[in-house]
Structure 1
Amino acid sequence: MNTFLVTLAVFAVALAGMAIGVMLSGRRIKGSCGGLSSFKDHEGNSVCEACTNPSTDCTQRREREAATGGAATGG
């Protein structure tokens, strides 16, 4: 039982440390919506509309692709 409690405490401290590090760095966590801009639909367009609140980068990339006929490459 002691091993379990020690292990739980170590994981809790590590998780808290990572959370505090993210909060102090001021950066946003990039989740699935940030990565969806690289996915394409059946016509080759990015699927920004899959997010309820797509990022500005995703929206701008989608607009560029529409203006150039889908030839723009994301970076």
Structure 2
Amino acid sequence: MMSTFIAAFVVLLLFFLLMSVGYIIKRKAVEGSCGGLGVLGIEKACDCDDPCDKRKRRMAESEREAKLNQNRII
């Protein structure tokens, strides 16, 4: 029982080690290969007609920042 746990832990540790080496060499983040939500026709993570208050605040903040950046002189 304990040897199975140790073997599984070592395999998992080896997997993470190899992933980190791949990231260090390629400098590219791990990403999905299936296209994610775009395949389903959903263009954004929150596809609600009426977003929640937290989402509305984030959207308003990003619009405000975009306007500030657009009107910035320097």
Fold match (TM-score > 0.5):
no
The one of the two structures with greater contact order (alpha-carbon pairs below 8 A, sep at least 6) is 1
Q: TM-score with structure 1 length normalisation?
A: 0.42
Q: TM-score with structure 2 length normalisation?
A: 0.42
Q: Considering only CA atoms, is the larger Rg found in Structure 1 or Structure 2?
A: 2
